[in-house]
Amino acid sequence: MSVRNIAVYDTTLRDGAQAEGVSFSAVAKVQVAKRLDEFGITYIEGGFAASNPKDMEFFRLIKTVPLKHSKIAAFGSTRRANTAPEEDKGLAALLEADTPVCTIFGKSWLLHVTEVLHTTPEENLAMIADSVRFLKEHGKEVIYDAEHFYDGYKDDPEYAMAALKAAADAGADCLVLCETNGGALPEEVAQITKAVVDAFGIPVGVHTHNDGELGVANALAGVNVGAVHVQGTINGIGERVGNCNLSSVIPNLMLKMNLECLPNAKNLKQLRALSQFVYEQANMRPLTKQPFVGESAFAHKAGMHVDGVRKVSQSFEHINPELVGNQRRILISELSGASNVFLKAIEMGLEVDRKSPEVKKVLKQLEQMEKEGYEYESADASFQMLIKKVLKKHKPFFDLEGFRVINERHDPEEGCLSEATVKLRVGDDVEFTVGEGDGPVDALNQALRKALVRFYPVIADVVLKDYSVRILDPEEATAAKTRVLIESGDGSNTWGTVGVSENIIEASWEALVDSVEYKLFLEEEKNKN
C-alpha cells in the first residue's frame, strides 16, 4: 500500500509573527528555522521580504545555515497594479531574499480587487500571471497563495477559478487555497477544495485560520478531498485567534489518517519539544490546554479517571502521550480523591496505606490549602513538603526569625535598589545576612542562600529558573491574594514551589523557603541511600 505524502508548510515566522504579543528577533527566527528543519518540515516561510528589515536579515543569516530537510520560502505579493514586474519593489525584494522558494499571494475575491486594490478584474489576473511568470523565469519554485479563495469562490466561482488559472498557466508549482477570514465550515472547504483539485493538474494546498475554531478541521477536510500541502504555524500562533495549528495537524495526519508528512516518522516524538521551543523563542507562555503537546493534554484530575487510566491507559487517552513526546500527569486536587494522594506518596517512597487515616488527613489539609489559594499542580515540591509535614515526617532544617526588604529610588537617573536582610537559626547558631538584587525577590534569595550555605553547602547549587505571579482575585487588584510559583533547579533536577499571601513579597518568600527546604530534603534522601 502506498502512503500519500503531505507537504507541511510552516509560516510561524511570517503569519505567526503577526499574532498579538509575538515578536521574534532575527536570531530567534534562525533558531526556530533550525528546529523546524531538524523536525523535518517541508517548507519554512521565513518572512515578508518587502515589509520588514528584520525579515531580510533572517534571509541573509539562514543562507549560512546548512539545512537537512527544509526549503526556505520568502513571502510577498503579486506586483502592484499597472507596474511592470521588473519595476515592482515587492518582487525585487523576493529575489533579493535569495531563497529557493517564493510564495506570493494574490486576490481571488472581486470585492477585494475593486474595494481594496482599486483595480480592475482583468488587471488583477494580469498581476497574478505576470508575477508568477517573472519568478519562474528567475528559477524559483513558486507557490501561489490564493487569498480569500473560499469567500471569493462563494461570491463568484468563475472569477475565483480564473484567478487560479492565471497562476497555473503562468507556471505556479502549487496552488494554495487560503481560508483567510477563518470562518468557513469544513463541508464548504471540502466541497470547494475538491472542485479545484478536480479542475487542475497541479498540487493543491490549503491555508486555514481558526476564527470559527475549525482551523485544524478545515485543513484536514482539504486533505480528505485531495489537497497535498498544508500551511499553518506551530502552536497555531497567528493574527486574531491564530492560524491552523500544525502541532495538531501533523499528529492527526500521521496517527489518525495514516498519511506521511515527515522524512522520519519517529521525529513526531520531538513535537512537544518543538512546540515548547517556539513558545520560548516567541516569548509566549505555553498554552497548557493545548491538544497533543500541552502540559495538561494527558493530565488526569478526577479520581475516577485516574483510577481508569491506571487500569487501562486507553480508557481516557486517545493516543500514547510518548508518541508526541508528551507524558501522563496525575493532578493533585480536591476532586482527585485518595487514589491520587496515594500514588503521589508512593512516588515519594513513603509507606502509606491507601485507606489509612494519614491519607485522609493529607486530603483534608489539601482542601484547606486550596481554599486559601494554593495550587499544587505546578508545585510538586511544595506538595511533597506538605505531605511530609502532615505525616510529621518533616524535620525543619532551620528556623526563620525574620526578614526585611527595602526598595528605593531617590535619583530618577538611577534604577531602583533592592536590599534584603534575613535572620535565621540553625540549631544554636543565629545567622543574620544581607543581600542585594535586581528586585526584592532576587535580594531575598541572595540573603537566604548566604545565610544557609555555611550549614548546607549544597544550597550553592540551587538556581531559580522561573518565577510567575498570579493575582487570585482580579477585582481587588493589589490588595488581593497573590500566588507565586517558583521553579528551581540544581543542574540535575527541577522542582516547583508555591506561596500565597496578600503580600507578593511574603508569597515569594514562602515559595523560596519551600524551594531550599526541598533541596535539603533531596540531599538528605540521597545521603540515606
Q: Which of residues 210-249 bind its own copies (CB under 8 A)?
A: 210-217, 220-221, 224, 239-242, 245, 248
Interaction of residue 413 with its own copies, rule CB under 8 A:
no
**What are the DSSP calls for 245-314, one per residue?**
BHHHHHHIIIIIS--B-SSSGGGGGGHHHHHHHHHHHTT----TT-TTTSTTTTEE-SHHHHHHHHH-GG
Q: How far is the CB of 365 from its own copies (least distance, A)?
A: 16
Using rule CB under 8 A, residue 487 touches its own copies: yes
In the complex, least distance from residue 465 CB atom to its own copies, rounded to whole angstroms: 6
The least distance separating its own copies from the CB of residue 463, rounded to whole angstroms, comes to 8
Shortest distance, position 111 Cβ to its own copies, whole Å: 6
Question: In terms of CB distance, is 47 or 168 closer to its own copies?
Answer: 47
506 interacts with its own copies by CB under 8 A: yes
Q: CA 54 from chain center: how many Å? A: 22
Q: Where does this chain touch its own copies (CB under 8 A) — which range of 352-360, 369-377, 387-395, 426-434?
A: 369-377
The rounded distance, in Å, linking the Cα atoms of 178 and 175 is: 10
CA atoms within 13 A on the CB side of 321: 19
C-alpha grid cell, residue 512 = 523560596
Residues 40-69 that bind its own copies (CB under 8 A): 51-52
Q: Is the CB of residue 362 less than 8 Å from the CB of residue 336?
A: no
User: By CB under 8 A, is residue 402 in contact with its own copies?
Assistant: yes
**Whole-number minimum distance, CB 236 to its own copies, in Å?**
8
CA–CA dist 243, 79 (Å, integer): 25
CA 45 to chain centroid? 18
Residue 176 CA to chain centroid, in angstroms?
A: 25
- Is 272 a residue that touches its own copies (CB under 8 A)? no
CB of 502 to its own copies, least distance (A): 4
Can residue 442 be called a binding residue for its own copies (CB under 8 A)? yes
- Minimum Å distance from CB 326 to its own copies? 11
Which of positions 115-174 make contact with its own copies (CB under 8 A)?
Answer: 115-116, 148, 151
Select 34 or 107, whichever has its Cβ closest to its own copies. Answer: 107
**Piece of the chain touching its own copies by CB under 8 A; list 260-268, 269-277, 357-365, 497-505:** 497-505
Would you say 487 and 499 are in contact if contact means Cβ atoms under 8 Å apart?
no
Q: Please tell me whether residue 334 binds its own copies under the rule CB under 8 A.
A: yes
Within 10 A of 283 (CB to CB), how many other CB atoms are there?
A: 12
If you search the block for the grid coordinates 533592592, which residue do you land on?
Answer: 418
- Name residues contacting its own copies, limited to 445-484 (CB under 8 A): 445, 463-475, 477-480, 482
**CA distances (Å), 24 to each of 9, 31, 99, 246, in order?**
19, 10, 20, 19
The residue within the footprint of its own copies, chosen from 24, 374, 398, 509 (CB under 8 A), is: 509
Q: Under the criterion CB under 8 A, does residue 273 sit at the interface with its own copies? A: no
Which residue from 256, 269, 355, 454 is in contact with its own copies, where contact means CB under 8 A? 256
Give the shortest CB-245-to-its own copies separation in angstroms. 6
What would the x/- binding string for its own copies be over residues 8 to 37, using CB under 8 A? Answer: ---------xxxxx-x--------------
Q: How far apart are CA 221 and CA 250, in angstroms?
A: 14
Min dist CB 31 to its own copies, Å, is: 14
Q: How far apart are CA 286 and CA 28, in angstroms?
A: 17
User: What residues does 429 pair with on adjacent strands?
Assistant: 426
* Residue 438, CA distances (Å) to 191, 233, 265, 450, 496 in order: 59, 36, 46, 16, 22
What would the grid cell of residue 528 be?
540515606
- Nearest approach, Cβ of 131 to its own copies (angstroms)? 17
Q: How far is the CB of 451 from its own copies (least distance, A)?
A: 15
344 binds its own copies per the rule CB under 8 A? no
**# of chain residues touching its own copies (CB under 8 A):** 129
- Rounded to 10 deg, the angle between the 26-39 and 271-281 helix axes is 170
In the region spanning residues 65 to 104, those forming contacts with its own copies, defined by CB under 8 A, are: none
Among 187, 198, 353, 461, binds its own copies (CB under 8 A): 187
Length of the chain (residues): 529
Residue 311 interacting with its own copies (CB under 8 A): yes
Contact characters 284-303, its own copies, x per CB under 8 A: -x-xxxxxx-x-xxxxxxxx
As to burial, measured by CB atoms within 10 angstroms (0-12 exposed, 13-18 middle, 19+ buried), residue 384 is buried
Q: CB under 8 A: which stretch of 161-169, 352-360, 379-387, 410-418 binds its own copies?
A: 410-418
Nearest to 294 by CA among 308, 279, 312: 279
Report in angstroms how near the CB of residue 358 gets to its own copies at its nearest.
22
Between 170 and 330, whose beta carbon lies closer to its own copies? 330
| Sole binder of its own copies in the list 181, 191, 339, 494 (CB under 8 A) | 181
Rounded Cα–Cα distance for residues 11 and 48 (Å): 10
Residues 77 and 49: beta-carbon distance below 8 Å? no
Q: Which is nearer to its own copies, 40 or 294 (CB)?
A: 294
Report residue 55 as a C-alpha cell.
525579515
Q: Would you count residue 281 as binding its own copies (CB under 8 A)? A: no
- Residue 204 falls in which region: left (phi positive, over 0), alpha (psi -120 to 50) or beta: beta
**DSSP code of residue 315:** G
Stretch that binds its own copies, among 157-165, 170-178, 351-359, 404-412 (CB under 8 A): 404-412
Q: Is 182 left (phi over 0), alpha (psi -120 to 50) or beta?
A: left
C-beta neighbour count of 404 within 10 angstroms: 13
